[in-house]
Amino acid sequence: MMSRIDDERYSFLAFARNHVFVTLFGIVAPVLLFACFIGYPIVYTIYLSFFEWNGMAPTKTFVGLANYSYMFGDKYFYISLENNLKWLVVSLAFPVVLGFLIAYAMRVRAVYFPTLLRTAIFFPVTMSLVAVGLMFLLILNPIFGAFDTVLRALGLGFLVSEWFGDYRIAIYTLAFVGGWAFTGLPMIFYFAGIGDVPKETFDAARIEGAGHLRMMLRVALPQLRSVTAVVVMLTLFESLKAFDLIAVMTKGAPFGRTNVLGYLVYLESFWNSRFGYGATVSVAILVLSIAIATLMLGTVFRGAFDV
Amino acid sequence: MSSVALLTERRTFKRLRFAAPRLFATLLAFILAAIWLGPLALMVMTSIKPNKEFLNGPFALPIAPTFEPYQKVWEGLNFGVLMQNSVLYATTGSALAVLLALVPAFALSRFEIPGKKYVFALLLTGLILPQQTVLIPLYAVLRSLHLLDTRIGLIIVHGVYGMPAQILILRGFMTTIPREIEKAAQIEGATDFQIFTKIILPLSVPGIVVGYTLNFIAIWKEFVFALVFLNSENILPVTVGMLKLNSDRYITAFNLPAAGLVISQIPIVILFILTYRGISSGNFVGSVKG
Amino acid sequence: MASVSLINIEKRYGAQVVIPKLNVEIADGSFVVLVGPSGCGKTTTLNMIAGLEPITAGQLLIGARDVTDLPPKNRDIAMVFQSYALFPHMNVFDNIAFGMKIRRLSRSEIDTRVRNVASRLRIDAFLDRRPKALSGGQRQRVALARAMVRRPGVFLMDEPLSNLDAKLRIEARSFLTKMHHEVRTTTVYVTHDQSEAMTMGDTIVVMKDGLIQQAAAPLEVYNEPANMFVAGFIGSPAMNFLELSKADTKLVDREHELEFPVSDRLRAVLDKYRKAKVVLGLRPDALRPAPRNAEPAGAPRFSVDVAQHLGHETLLDASRGPHRLVARVSGTDDSKIGETRAFLLDLDNMHLFDPDSGANLASGGTGPNAR
């Protein structure tokens, strides 16, 4: 294309003159849509976080930083934040690590029926979390649930717990159910990624006498940095978005112990009609996700997205 | 090598040659199947048990299998309407997302645009933004446009929020189309618009299919937007309508909710079978990464 | 039909100067080959003529029209790409007809012209096939047909033969030359292959680092290279260079007992030359071993390191001290490896170069880096 990148006069306007169609429909239109449906909502959320508003009344009351100071003293905010972090840890440990191990096992044919299993593990990724939640409500039911029956049959009856009733484990139950539905995604990414790693590097390592552990850690993983970066980012945002399962399975019970930030926003805004405070928690989520993303891209995954 | 081969070649994955011991492989396959296939199989089995077999335990095989639970939830939840709505949202929302994404993907894949990286940063923001953070203002925007609790309102929201991912997927795909093909068209006298419609668009069909399918699944699964922006029974999608299954009226004998969630998954199963090769072999990963 | 003039053409990417100042005059109906090693600026030059890359400064005329800032479609050109760049989703007919459809020619006009050009290029049997169902040679001809069918003033070709295998390439070379003799369309042809340049062009433009080293007819470039770069680039195996000292009417390296006589023509050149060191250029064909029983006294002697027997000829890699050379000799030559042989010289086939600038002393040319 005629692009005068070599020219000092080259500017966006010069480009626009030469490429009217591309500029209009390829740049201006999407940027406008972004401004209306993504940019404006973000700005509005920040604006709203300085007000008190019940969502209906025509007037909003300016309260300055009151919502923020309330948030930092709000017990439920801290519980939710902690739950999001627990969720993130479980998601990184269970679906991501397991997804990698499964992908590796399938690549080295350490498992039978890899195609069937890959389909089975990926399938929950396509399920709505409402369906997944409902399903595990039945399976983890304290009286009629299949899971407890299996545990008892395996002689592990002492592990049987109130999966949703016990406030100490309820959030982990939810995170593991989420992990069950999420594992397929890291697995697919790693499966494709390992397929792109030059096979010769594995052969060479094997001839040098490396075992599977060494090959995973020293041969496969270092060559999968960009895949890991994508997967970890996806996991991160997935954990911060956690909402559906909670809405279906616990609604924050017991005693708000399974609240996460996303659900707190929904509760405060649409049930308690405290839109200002809901917006404040939204801002917290936003800051948190941008901060973590920037931190990770700047350190662990520096350069992983360079094309 | 001609570009044709590059575009149509299905990526074949190299298998690594060393196999693990037989016992280990069997055990691993069994465990994985139990964890991921087990719950699904259990639900299907539960869904065809009559009420009175409920007390036989979760693993008791159905003695007198029946489709009565299906009939009951289909009528009770008005599943016909829910399905229609979900299909409508998923097909049109994805179509809108892809349509909105096509020209931007073309622009970002083929041109050196000054300020391109800012457009990219904007895109990524749209991609990582937690839905909950924009719920309130979107609610307000939709209300002021009188689109709250309407089908068209939800479709627009899905279209716009599907666009960033579609731009990335399509852009990744379009960058694999050899530059020289486009230069040849340019030499032959084609304008940007003609290059787009006559060359890039027809060659991007596989990428569009992948993007559309992924978006379809995403909208089918979507819950938060529909929950907050819709209220009227007759326009709810399956995900929101299904919530009713989690009530004393339906959950007593397990077979009703089980039947409900099997039904809710049928369209995705069909889609999954149709596009299985494209999606679950991970071929789309390349286009997303690119 | 059109001539092409590049007047003070300059190309910069930011601060990096790719082509400092280029002046080329391409006559109407001629076949000009731009040749040089990769990175020499030949493809950039072609892309600037095509309008695929903007010209930083200078003026480009096609058929006396100033097209410097016009888009490709208004330049009256057609182009054949290295990868052919056929549209994979269209059949051969639509590929060839693409440009005419864009220009909204009538259906019947398009049809006749496509069939006409297809039969000339012997691809009329494949008009409804997709490119992927064609062989490399057929694809190449489709690309050529797409360029020819619009009857442009200028053909631009960017290494169009380098994706073909060796045998097809030789065929396609003479085919292209034949086509050019028939249609006589001005052609600018880019290649890195010096044998393609020699066999196809009316004029060869040898480039290095964005600068023209020499622009002349093929045989002139071969026989009177402007400098050491051109001398080394054109011809295979490459010309041998020996750095020697001027001694009266001879060139010598006393330390290694080498002595070369020069022809009368070159003696006159040497007389005017003031430096002590001079580079002697010898084509591999200018050397042949003297019969063992009749070695003339004072003939330069080299020991044979490698003998490459090609059947119809043999290439001898020989050396003496720091000097190394390749001689192209008869296939019946029986030199043994390690043997020292006296060589006879073709006095009319010798070149002298300035060791510092690389310029050919006889032609009064400039060195490769002069601006």
Q: What is the 3-state secondary structure (H, E, C) of chain C?
A: CCCEEEEEEEEEECCEEEEEEEEEEECCCCEEEEECCCCCCHHHHHHHHHCCCCCCEEEEEECCEECCCCCHHHCCEEEECCCCCCCCCCCHHHHHHHHHHHCCCCHHHHHHHHHHHHHHCCCHHHCCCCHHHCCHHHHHHHHHHHHHCCCCCEEEEECCCCCCCHHHHHHHHHHHHHHHHHHCCEEEEEECCHHHHHHHCCEEEEEECCEEEEEECHHHHHHCCCEHHHHHHCCCCCCEEEEEEEECCEEEEHHHCEEEECCHHHHHHHHHCCCCEEEEEECHHHEEECCHHHCCCCCCEEEEEEEEECCCEEEEEEEECCEEEEEEEECCCCCCCCCEEEEEECHHHEEEECCCCCEECCCCCCCCCCC
Cα-based angle C101, C106, C108 (whole degrees, multiple of 5): 110
CA atoms of C277 and C243, how far apart (whole Å): 7
DSSP conformational letter for B17: S
Per-residue pLDDT, B15: 46
> Measured between CB atoms, which of A1, A121, A135 is closest to B32?
A121
Say if B194 is an interface residue toward chain C (CB within 8 Å): yes
Rg (CA), chain C: 25
Q: Which of C14, C51, C52 lies closest to A6 in CB terms?
A: C14
* Dist. CA C334–CA C340, nearest whole Å: 12
**What is the distance between the alpha carbons of residues A78 and A83, in angstroms, rounded to a whole number?**
8
Say how many C-beta atoms besides its own lie within 10 A of residue C305's C-beta.
12
Q: In terms of pLDDT, which residue wins out, C273 or B10?
A: C273
Q: Which distant-in-sequence residues (6+ apart) come within 8 Å of A134 by Cβ?
A: A248, B242, B245, B246, B257, B260, B261
- Residues in B closer than 8 angstroms to C81, CB to CB, are 180, 183-184
Confidence band, pLDDT 50/70/90 cuts, at residue B287: very low
Question: What does the pLDDT read at residue C60?
Answer: 94
Non-local (6+) Cβ contacts of B214 within 8 A are: B165, B169, B279, B284
pLDDT at C48: 94
Residue pair A183/A123 in contact by the 8 Å Cβ criterion: no
Any C CB within 8 A of A20 CB: no
Please name the residues in contact with C151: beta carbons below 8 A apart, sequence gap of 6 or more: C185
- CB B148 within 8 Å of CB B178: no
Chain A nearest CA to B66, separation (Å): 19
Are C13 and A4 inside 8 Å of each other by CB?
no
Which contiguous run of DSSP H or E holds residue A61?
strand A61-62
Task: Mark yes or no for CB contact B189/C132 under 8 Å.
Answer: no
Tokens matching residue A20? 């009217």
More confident residue, B236 or C165: B236
pLDDT at B16 over 70: no
pLDDT (0 to 100) of residue B9: 31
**In chain B, % of residues over pLDDT 70:** 88
Question: Pick from C269, C340, C260: which is nearest to C298 by CA?
Answer: C260
pLDDT tops 60 at residue B4 = no
Lateral strand order in the sheet of C4-13:
C16-26, C4-13, C57-62, C65-66
Which among A258, A260, A246, A91 has a CA at the least distance from the CA of A166?
A: A258
Q: Which of B132, B254, B264 sits opposite A265 (nearest CB)?
A: B132
Using a CB–CB cutoff of 8 Å, tell me whether B119 touches chain A.
yes
Eight-class DSSP state of A162: -
Give the span between the Cα atoms of C182 and C137, in whole angstroms: 20
Q: Which two tokens stand for residue A61?
A: 């009351």
Residue B182 has pLDDT above 50, yes or no: yes
Chain mean pLDDT for chain B: 82
- Give φ, ψ of C88 to 5 degrees: -65, -20
Scanning the structure block, which residue is given the tokens 């340019």?
A: B186
Q: Which fold has domain A69-298?
A: MetI-like fold (1.10.3720)
pLDDT over threshold 80, residue A253? no
Cα–Cα distance, A46 to A57 (Å, whole number): 19
Range list for CATH 2.40.50.140 in chain C = 237-353
Cross-chain Cβ contact A6/C51 below 8 Å? no
Local structure of residue A125 (DSSP, 8 states): G
Mutation for A interface: C44, C47, C53, most A CBs within 10 A:
C53
Which of A26, A111, A138 lies at the smallest CB-CB distance from B257?
A138
Beta carbons of C140 and C127 less than 8 angstroms apart: no
Name the residue facing A6 among C51, C56, C71 (closest C-beta).
C56
Q: Which domains does chain B have, with CATH numbers?
A: 74-237+267-289 (1.10.3720.10)
H helices of chain A, where? 12-18, 20-21, 29-34, 40-48, 66-72, 75-91, 97-107, 114-122, 129-139, 146-153, 170-182, 184-196, 199-207, 212-214, 221-223, 225-241, 244-249, 261-266, 275-298
Tell me, what DSSP letter sits at residue A1? Answer: -
The pLDDT of residue B150 is above 90: yes
Measured distance CA(C275)–CA(C271) in Å, rounded: 10
Q: Supply the pLDDT for residue B3.
A: 31
Can you tell me the distance from the alpha carbon of C310 to that of C326, in angstroms, rounded to the nearest whole number? 14
Cα C156 to Cα C150: distance, rounded to the nearest angstrom: 13
- Residue B204 to residues A133, A295, B198, B286, C226: CA-CA distances in angstroms? 37, 35, 11, 14, 51
pLDDT of residue C166: 86
Neighbours of B (≥3 Cβ pairs closer than 8 A)? Answer: A, C
The pLDDT of residue B279 is: 53
Torsion-angle region of B190 (φ positive above 0: left; ψ -120 to 50: alpha; else: beta): beta
Strand (E) or helix (H) holding B73: helix B68-76
User: Rounded to an integer, what distance in angstroms lies between the CA atom of residue A1 and that of residue B195?
Assistant: 11
- What is the Cα–Cα distance from C289 to C213, expressed in whole angstroms? 33
Instruction: State how far the Cα of B50 lies from the Cα of A129, in Å rounded to an integer.
Output: 26
pLDDT at A295 over 70: yes
The answer to whether the CB of A196 falls within 8 A of the CB of A184 is no
Distance from CA of C18 to the nearest CA of A (A): 11
pLDDT greater than 60 at residue B281: no
The 8-class DSSP code of residue A3 comes to -
Q: Distance, in angstroms, between A3 CA and closest chain C CA?
A: 7
Taking residues B82-102, what's their average pLDDT? 95
Question: Mean pLDDT of residues grouped by 10 in chain C (371 residues)?
Answer: 90 88 92 93 93 91 91 91 91 94 93 93 91 90 92 92 87 89 93 92 93 93 93 92 88 90 87 89 92 87 93 93 93 90 89 91 62 42
Fold type of domain C237-353: OB fold (Dihydrolipoamide Acetyltransferase, E2P) (2.40.50)
C293 Cβ neighbours under 8 A, 6+ residues apart:
none
Rounded-to-integer distance, Cα B82 and Cα B223, Å = 13
Q: How far from A150 is each of A158, B59, C244, C252, C317, CA to CA, in Å?
A: 12, 9, 93, 98, 82
Over the stretch A32-89, which tens digit does the pLDDT of each residue have? 888 888 888 889 999 999 998 887 788 888 998 999 999 999 999 999 999 999 999 9
Q: Average pLDDT, stretch A174-194?
A: 90
Cα C257 to Cα C365: distance, rounded to the nearest angstrom: 31
Contact A131 B242 (CB under 8 A): yes
Q: Does C17 touch chain A (CB under 8 A)?
A: no
C81 and B184 within 8 Å at the Cβ level: the answer is yes
Cβ contacts (< 8 Å) between C190 and chain B: which residues?
A: none
Per the CB < 8 Å rule, is B187 touching C82? no
Considering only residues A112 and B35, tell me which one the structure prediction assigns the higher pLDDT: B35
Q: What average pLDDT score do residues B213-218 get?
A: 90
Fold of the CATH domain C4-230 = Rossmann fold (3.40.50)
Do B189 and C78 count as a contact with CB atoms less than 8 A apart? no
Measured CA to CA, the distance from residue A51 to residue A64 in angstroms comes to 7
CATH 1.10.3720.10 segments of chain A: 69-298
Model confidence at B18: pLDDT above 60: no
Determine the distance in angstroms separating the CA of C69 from the nearest CA of chain A, rounded to an integer: 10
Query: What pLDDT is recorded for position A119?
Result: 84
Taking the Cβ of residue B167 and every Cβ of chain A, the question of whether any pair is shorter than 8 Å is answered with: yes
pLDDT of residue A1: 36
Please confirm whether the linkage preceding C54 is cis (ω < 30° from 0): no
**Cβ <8 Å between B221 and A145:** no
As a whole number of angstroms, the distance between CA B7 and CA C4 comes to 37
What is the pLDDT at residue B290? 31
> Which pLDDT value is given to residue A300?
67
Could you tell me what percent of chain B has a pLDDT over 90? Answer: 38
User: Beta strand pairing status for C186-191 and C31-35?
Assistant: parallel
Spatial distance between the Cα atoms of A100 and A54, rounded to a whole number of angstroms: 47
Q: What type of residue is A87? A: W
| Range 231-250 of C in CB contact (< 8 A) with A | none
Give the residue from B181, B183, B188 with the most C CB atoms within 10 Å of its CB, the best one to mutate. B188
Q: Give the H/E segment covering residue A51.
A: strand A51-52
Question: What residue type is B131 in one-letter code?
Answer: Q
3-state SS assignment for residue B269: helix
Give residue-wise pLDDT tens across range A76-94: 999 999 999 999 999 988 8
pLDDT at B272: 77
Q: Cβ separation of C73 and B186 shorter than 8 Å?
A: yes
pLDDT of res. B278: 54
Picking from C193, A150, A307, A126, the residue whose alpha carbon sits closest to that of residue B289 is A307
